[in-house]
Chain A
Amino acid sequence: MMRILENEAFSTFDIEMQHGEDITKLDVGNGLKYSIVGPNIDERCGYCLDYLNGKTKVYSVEYDTNNFVLILGGARIQITELPDFIMNEGWADDTIIIDATSVNVVELLFLIDAFQKTNIRRFEVLYAEPKNYDSQGTRPRNRRDFSLSVKYEGYKGVPLYSKVTRDFDAKVFCCGYEAARIQNAIESLPIGTTETYLLFGMPPFYVGWDMNAYYNHINFIVKENLQNIYYCGATNPLSVMIRLLDIYKTLQPDQNMFIAPVGTKPMSLAVCLFLVKMSPSNKCAILFDHPEKRAARSKEVGEVNLYRIHL
């Protein structure tokens, strides 16, 4: 197989991306038995859940950030116990689909990490795009303010994927609509803005949505004099992984790389895949602030994406 990412860690990695107006237009695997979903907070989460319910055994997953445990299928399990759980449940190649619409970033990371550890090599990820977001007012500035999160737990380490930050480490932020989350990291952590990279989702879900992201970040970019700005498709994990690998290649021997998946979910999926595959390097870590998502944060269901992943 031709390597799509030029690094030994990705020697077996492959990803097939499908895109359609609705789930029925996608070639979802025939052998799926298990699906993993997150909290059902808006229409699109419900839409995916409706599709998966009945066809598969549905497990709901949520990470308890206070106690650092996963609540998976009703059971509370330590992160280190996840591989055993998966084996006991009989999950195997080509039988699992994760609904990334509702499953949150940290949960996604732990699941992929556990797949890697249990030799599950092939699984699918579903993602339904939002059609609309409600803005927080009609003044010109607020028109691009989308009330997406109620509050944040704050930047807090994630077991297995954390390191102590240092000024000179590389920081990569996937940019969505909530620029303040990046600003918060810069202000609250001793990380400075040198060696900071921003990844914007371009092309976006819809024409013009990229402007919302730029508008919300522009002051911050100018103020902090950030120069390293990259673009990767908002629904294209592979392009994000290519960029991450490009940045990784520039690291000095003593330099680590912190990645903050605070952009679109497909971008976050890429970050999770990257972190898991690069884990042996011991140079990459996550930066995450654990938002409490607002209920009904998006409206209606947009196009649907399916990622068939080979780890």
Chain B
Amino acid sequence: MDDRDFARNRAEEYGYDVWESFIVPPFYREIESLRTNKPLIVEGGRGSGKTMLLRYWCHQTQFSIHRAEIPDSALNKIGIYWKMDTQFAAFMLFRNYEEEIWNRVFSYWSVLTISLSILDSLKSIAESHYAKFNEEDLVRMKFSGLNGYDENIPDSYEELIAYLTKRRQQFESWVNSIPSLPTINFLPYEFIVDLANCIKKGNEVFKDTIFDIFIDEYENLQVNQMQIINTRIKHSEIPIIYNVAMKHNALVTPETLGNESIVVVNDYRKIPLDEYVEEYFKIFAPEIFLWKLKKDKEVPTLVEKEELFGYDDSVFEKRRSEVYRRELGRSMNAIFPGMTEKEVATLMLEDSIFRNRIAKELKKKGLDSEVVEKIMSSKPECAVVFPSLLERASFNLEDTMMELAKYNEGKKSKFDDIIHNSLFGCVLYQYGSLKRTCPLYAGFGSFITMSKDNIRHFLELCYHSYLRKGPENYVSIPTQCISVKMVSEDMLSEIKSLGRRSNELYTFALRIGTLFETLRKKPSQSEPEQNQFNIVGSIENYKIESLLRELVKWSVLYESKLTKQKTDENGIEYLLNPIYAPYFGISYRKKRRVPLSLVDFEILAFGEEAKYKNLVVRKTNFHDDENFGERSLFDL
């Protein structure tokens, strides 16, 4: 098996028929229960699996040649997937014509495209293992009910396809050159409904069929086109139901072409895919990886095809159980072992370079050799955090040594809290100072946190680590660390391809990441693990609001309600996607935030380089030339 096949992780890479590759999510029952005859809006960030889900529901998969037994119920809902060519859709505007004309043009395009896709679905069924409708039945189908729209509409299947294809070509050519006012007889929306009814009447097997139209990447449409689709959603009725998939914050307008708006529950149901994925991430993500490992690399793993591709209630029950989750965790930990902060601290003190460095820091602050020796011979986690304590204004040597002694004896001590709060940050600080990749980035648990419910990111971390492993059955921690950093770099670089404002998003990510990195380099570590920010004051600035929306839409930032809100603080905090944490050597855990004023945010987002550098110095009280200077040749 080619490594590239093993590492495939985007729905688009699997084509339209995903029967052999779609692992039924453990939360599938919940989603299925929402799939009634009401339109759906499937909302999810990048990597949440929306496209895979949509493609799974569509005819290419449901009537896949690989599906051995197809029940009659599969015909109840025939899914039609439409990822629109938005570059073509985007220029159906202006050019001397009123929007109303272009609305009709767009609508006509959708009629042709959807009609052809519906006809295509019949072929999928005829060629599938479904026994009650075959290619002869397809040839026998008649579409004479449509010739009211145009008497030239043929009534046989193949001829109807040829007719509609020709009309589409003529239409595309007209849109491209618009030599004159449209003389084309635009087929109205009702054509699709009549086509569906023809099919329902044309063969007994389709009598209860509903065609579910799924429009992917809704957010890329023009606003007037969204309104057209919204109108279709609002007025969806059997046998044609419209559904859309989009990213967060993408429902730019709920308006329809009329005076109404689409309203959740009344007009559509929403599938918040991210929420489901989040709840079952620790099960679903490892299942996908372990299945790929078994299938593509022939490595025995605990997952079974019958279970991952099955629908029995007992299977769902097992997959959602705590016991199974723990088994998956054990299995993943065996492949991707990690270390706790305390284990890393122990490792550090076994390394003379770290040991000498810490001892030197302690001596530099005026501690005598005897005290230093005591600290260095106490529990490793204490030695690692101790230098940071010396930086604090409230430091008192005598009290601290007493607390240290209590901790070493296993008694309750202030060091319990200090270690809880600061050890992770101090470990990152020490590794960062030596430009070494930190073992805290390794391990299944870290992968889960860093990928933050993004299946694609999780799989990238696993694949890239696994593909670099040695002859052992597991991936060594140093190998994982290198892979993690490379994936992090790739993902950061990928921001440049995220939509129209990608360059602004990229610059912002680089700058905010560098700010957090500089904060991480402060020796005091009094506020360790800063990787979030909030904006103080109200954000009544369109430029800033729209950038924030874009950053959240593309999951460069995650927004959440502010914890411990102060009176002048805005109610939202933003976490830098933790997949970028290894690149900046910062913590991937959601911990502390940096408050930013509107002006600061504006500088970070849009300011000149010099102003931004000043901001970093001002916010960190720390001048770190290194971030703006040359890096080591060997630093990834």
Show the binding face of A for B, using Cβ within 8 Å: 66-69, 78-80, 136-142, 147, 149-165, 178-181, 183-184, 187-190, 192, 219, 222-223, 225, 282, 287
Knowing A138-B631, A164-B172, A165-B85 are in contact, say whether A153-B500 is a contact too (CB < 8 A): yes
B86 touches A149 (CB 8 A): no
Q: Give, as a whole number of angstroms, the nearest-CB distance from B270 to chain A.
A: 23
Chain A residue with minimal CB distance to B493?
Answer: A141
Whether the Cβ atoms of A162 and B507 lie closer than 8 Å is no
Contacts of B178 in A (CB 8 A): 80, 159
What separation, in Å, do the CA atoms of A166 and B630 have in the docked complex? 45
**Known interface pairs A68-B93, A141-B489; A164-B85 also in contact (CB < 8 Å):** yes
B497 at interface, CB cutoff 8 A: yes
Q: Is the pair A154, B85 in contact by a Cβ cutoff of 8 Å? A: no
CB proximity of A286 to chain B, nearest CB, Å:
9
Question: Is there an interface contact between A190 and B84, defined as CB atoms closer than 8 Å?
Answer: yes
B residues whose Cβ falls under 8 Å from a Cβ of A: 4, 7, 12, 83-88, 90-91, 93-96, 168, 172-173, 175-179, 217, 220, 489-490, 492-494, 496-504, 507, 510, 628-631, 633, 635-636
**Complex contact A67–B94 (CB within 8 A):** yes
Cβ contact within 8 Å between B629 and A68 = no
Kindly provide the distance from the CB of B366 to the nearest chain A CB, expressed in whole angstroms: 36
Complex formed: what's the CA distance from A91 to B172 in Å? 32
- CB pair A287 B502 closer than 8 Å: no
**Chain B nearest CB, measured from A15 CB (Å):** 27
Q: Are B631's CB and A154's CB within 8 A?
A: no
Residues of B within 8 A of A136 (CB): 507, 510
Which of A66, A69, A179, A184 gathers most chain B CB within 10 Å?
A: A184
A152 → chain B closest CB, angstroms: 5
Distance, CA A184 to CA B178, complexed state (A): 28
Knowing A150-B503, A165-B85, say if A159 contacts B91 (CB, 8 Å). Answer: yes
A151 near B502 (CB under 8 angstroms)?
Answer: yes
Q: Which of chain A's residues have a CB closer than 8 A to the CB of B84?
A: 190
B12 cross-chain contacts in A, Cβ below 8 A:
187, 192
Nearest 10 CB-CB pairs, A to B? A157-B91, A180-B496, A183-B497, A180-B497, A155-B87, A156-B90, A190-B83, A184-B497, A154-B500, A164-B88
Distance of A242 from chain B, by nearest CB (Å): 27
A287: nearest residue on chain B (CB-CB)?
B87
Given the known interface contacts A149-B503, A152-B502, A155-B86, the answer about A162 and B220 at a Cβ–Cβ threshold of 8 Å is: no
Q: Could you tell me the distance between the alpha carbons of A69 and B217 in the complex, rounded to whole angstroms?
A: 27
Q: Does A188 contact B507, Cβ atoms closer than 8 Å?
A: no
Query: Separation in Å of the A161 CB from the closest CB of chain B?
Result: 7
Identify which of A154, A160, A180 contacts B220 (C-beta below 8 A).
A154
A137 to B96 alpha-carbon distance, docked (Å): 45
What are 19 A-B contacts defined by CB distance under 8 Å? Answer: A68-B93, A140-B631, A140-B633, A150-B503, A152-B502, A153-B500, A154-B90, A154-B220, A154-B499, A157-B91, A157-B176, A160-B177, A162-B88, A162-B176, A179-B497, A180-B502, A181-B497, A189-B86, A190-B84
Tell me the complex Cα distance, A139–B509, Å.
14
**CA–CA, A136 to B259, complex, Å?**
48
CA distance A137 to B584 in the complex (A): 13
The closest CB in chain B to the CB of A160 belongs to B177
Specify which chain A residues have a CB less than 8 angstroms from the CB of B504 in the assembled complex: 150-151
Whether B500 and A151, one on each chain, are in contact in the complex, defined by CB atoms closer than 8 angstroms, is: yes
Chain B residues near A159: list those with CB within 8 A. 91, 95, 176-178
Q: With the chains together, A98 CA to B95 CA distance in Å?
A: 25
Interface contact B499-A184, CB-CB below 8 Å = yes
Q: Which residue of A lies closest to B502 (CB)?
A: A180
* A158: chain B residues within 8 A (beta carbon): 91
* Shortest distance from the beta carbon of B461 to any chain A beta carbon, whole Å: 15
Q: In the complex, what distance in Å separates the CA atom of A68 from the CA atom of B217? A: 24
A179 and B494 alpha carbons, distance in the complex (Å): 10
List the B side residues contacting A140 at CB < 8 Å.
631, 633, 635-636
Which single residue of chain B is at the shortest CB-CB distance from A142?
B510
Alpha-carbon distance between A180 and B490 when the two chains are bound, in angstroms? 12
Contact (Cβ within 8 A) A188 B86: yes
A157 contacts B493, CB within 8 Å?
A: no
Looking across the interface, which residue of chain B has its beta carbon closest to that of A190?
B83
> B177 contacts which chain A residues (CB < 8 A)?
80, 159-160
Chain A minimum-CB-distance residue to B87 = A155
B628 adjacent to A138 (CB under 8 Å): yes
CB distance from B630 to the nearest CB of A (A): 6
Q: Is the CB of A188 within 8 A of B502?
A: no
A219 touching B220, Cβ below 8 Å: no
Q: A157 to nearest B CB, angstroms? A: 3
Is there an interface contact between B176 and A138, defined as CB atoms closer than 8 Å?
no
Which of chain B's residues has its CB closest to A141's CB?
A: B489
Determine whether the beta carbon of B503 is less than 8 Å from that of A147.
yes
Which residues of chain A come closer than 8 Å to B7, judged between CB atoms?
223
A69 to B494, CA, bound (A): 33
Docked-complex contact B502 and A184, CB < 8 angstroms = yes
* A198–chain B nearest beta-carbon distance, Å: 15
How far does the Cβ of B7 sit from chain A's closest Cβ, in whole Å? 8
B88 and A165 contact, CB distance less than 8 A:
yes
A151 to B502, alpha carbons, bound, how many Å? 7
| A154, B91: Cβ atoms closer than 8 Å | no
In contact, A165 and B493 (Cβ under 8 angstroms): no
Residues of A within 8 A of B628 (CB): 138
Chain B residues whose C-beta falls within 8 Å of the C-beta of A178 in the assembled complex: 496
CB-based contact B503/A157 at 8 Å: no
**B96 in contact with A157 (CB, 8 Å):** no
Residue of B nearest to A81 (CB): B96
CA distance A163 to B497 in the complex (A): 23
Query: Which residue of A147, A155, A190 is within 8 Å of B507 (Cβ)?
Result: A147
Q: Closest A-chain residue to B10, C-beta based?
A: A187
What residues of B have a CB within 8 angstroms of the CB of A183 in the complex? 494, 496-497
| Cα–Cα, bound, A56→B339 (Å) | 72
- Contact across chains for A137 and B502 when beta carbons are under 8 A apart: no
Known A138-B628, A154-B500: A188·B176 in contact at CB below 8 Å: no
Q: Out of B90, B93, B498, which one reaches A155, CB within 8 Å?
A: B90
Q: Complex formed: what's the CA distance from A222 to B168 in Å?
A: 36
Q: Which of B94, B217, B490, B629 has the most CB of A within 10 A?
A: B94
Residue numbers in B under 8 Å from A160 (CB-CB): 176-177
Task: Indicate which residue in A79, A181, A190 contacts B85 across the interface (CB closer than 8 Å).
Answer: A190
Q: A138-B629, A155-B86, A189-B87 are in contact. List 15 more A-B contacts (CB 8 A).
A: A67-B94, A68-B93, A136-B507, A140-B633, A141-B492, A154-B499, A155-B90, A156-B91, A159-B91, A162-B175, A163-B176, A179-B496, A180-B493, A190-B83, A219-B493
The docked-state distance in angstroms from the alpha carbon of A161 to that of B86 is 15
Q: What A residues does B173 contact at CB under 8 A?
A: 282
The interface residues of chain A lying within 8 Å CB-to-CB of B633 are 140
A160 to B12, CA, bound (A): 29
Instruction: Select the residue from B95, B176, B631 with max chain A CB neighbours within 10 A.
Output: B176
Q: Please tell me if the beta carbons of B85 and A189 are within 8 angstroms of each other in the complex.
A: yes
A222 CA to B498 CA, complexed, in Å: 19
B481 CB to closest chain A CB, in angstroms?
Answer: 17
CB–CB B496/A162 < 8 A: no
What residues of A have a CB within 8 angstroms of the CB of B91 in the complex? 68, 156-159, 162
Q: Which residues of B contact A138 (CB under 8 A)?
A: 628-631
What's the minimum C-beta distance from A160 to chain B, rounded to whole angstroms?
6
- Kindly provide the distance from the CB of B568 to the nearest chain A CB, expressed in whole angstroms: 32
Is A225 a contact of B503 with CB atoms below 8 Å? Answer: no
Once the chains are docked, how many angstroms separate the CA of A107 from the CA of B151?
A: 43
Residue of A153, A160, A162 most packed against chain B (CB within 10 A): A162
